[in-house]
Amino acid sequence: MAVRVAVVDGHTLTRYGLAGLIAQHEDLAIVAETGSMAEAVRMVETALPDVVTVDVALPDGDGLGLARELRDRFPELGIVVLTSRGEDDLLFRALETGVSAFVPKTAPAEEVLAAIRHAAVAASSFTATGLAPALARRRDGSRVALSPREHEVLQLLAEGMSVPGIARTMYLCPSTAKTYVARLYEKLAVSNRAQALMAGLREGLLDRPAGASA
């Protein structure tokens, strides 16, 4: 029987393209698709796929948060995370979330298909092409490494901007801005703005001294 695949991706063309790619292979079958995090859990409950592909950046939320919810609800479900951002922290978050595979959207089509097939037979076994180099970089790195987006969030916090203000400035939805702030706090091992700014200065991550209060 063909592997039943569902696709969650907020970009219509990407979603249709992935669905079209999967449909070309007799051992795979598209059973559902959505561009919304809000609809994804219900879609999985209804369509009962063997594997679901999830984009990291969804219009209404964090794809890795969705992946964690799906893993908690459906332990046997294969989950393939797709991303247009090849950052190490995303890869490690995906690993910690318990997904089956982590694949850049720039990867060859065969790599995406291989990840789907892997997820169908080994849902709890993680695979990612760049895992070994990322582990080596984590071992060798002694300082906090922020993604460009996280660095921008830190700088905006230093300028005294609120989370809604950060969302507007970075053209993000408020929930995504909150996710970036929470991830930044986690990386810096802090719990509020003042601590984050102190840590940012200590690590040399701020472009200029912060003048904002907590």
71 shares its domain with 122: yes
Integer Cα distance of 14 and 188 in angstroms: 34
108 shares its domain with 65: yes
Indicate the helix (H) or strand (E) that contains 58: strand 57-58
* φ/ψ (deg, to 5) at 6: -115, 145
10 shares its domain with 105: yes
108 shares its domain with 23: yes
103 shares its domain with 182: no
What Rg value do the Cα atoms of the chain yield, rounded?
Answer: 19
Coil, strand or helix: which one is 29?
Answer: strand
31 shares its domain with 107: yes
Does the structure show a pLDDT above 70 at 20?
A: yes
When pLDDT is cut at 50, 70 and 90, the band that residue 214 belongs to is very low
Which of 144-148, 188-192, 207-211 has maximum average pLDDT?
188-192
21 shares its domain with 113: yes
160 shares its domain with 107: no
| Residue position matching structure tokens 């393209």 | 17
Does the structure show a pLDDT above 70 at 138?
A: no
Residue type, 203: E
Coil, strand or helix: which one is 203?
Answer: coil
Question: What percent of the chain has pLDDT above 70?
Answer: 91
* In contact, 153 and 166? CB cutoff 8 Å: yes
- Pick from 88, 115, 136: which residue ends a domain? 136
35 shares its domain with 102: yes
Domain extent, residue 131, equals 3-136
46 shares its domain with 105: yes
184: Cβ–Cβ under 8 A, 6 or more apart, which residues? Answer: 146, 150, 153, 154, 157, 196
Pairing label, strands 57-58, 61-62: antiparallel
- Give me the number of domains the chain comprises: 2
Per-residue pLDDT, 210: 41
| In a domain? residue 211 | no
Does the structure show a pLDDT above 70 at 59?
A: yes
Integer Cα distance of 16 and 77 in angstroms: 22
pLDDT higher at 186 or 3 = 3
Per-residue pLDDT, 212: 41
Does the structure show a pLDDT above 60 at 207?
A: no
pLDDT averaged over the chain?
87
| In a domain? residue 214 | no
Per-residue pLDDT, 72: 93
Strands (E), 78-142: 78-83, 101-104, 127-128
Strand partners, 6: 32, 52
- Pick from 110, 136, 162: which residue ends a domain? 136
Question: In which region does residue 191 sit, left (phi positive, over 0), alpha (psi from -120 to 50) or beta (all else)?
Answer: alpha
Q: What is the mean pLDDT of residues 100-125?
A: 93
61 shares its domain with 111: yes
Tell me 2's DSSP state.
P
155 shares its domain with 116: no
CA atoms within 13 A on the CB side of 113: 15
Does the structure show a pLDDT above 50 at 209?
A: no
| CATH code of the domain containing 163 | 1.10.10.10
Per-residue pLDDT, 24: 95
Tell me 189's DSSP state.
T
- Pick from 136, 157, 192: which residue ends a domain? 136
| In a domain? residue 208 | no
Per-residue pLDDT, 213: 39
Pick the closest to residue 103 from 160, 57, 54, 70 (CA basis): 54
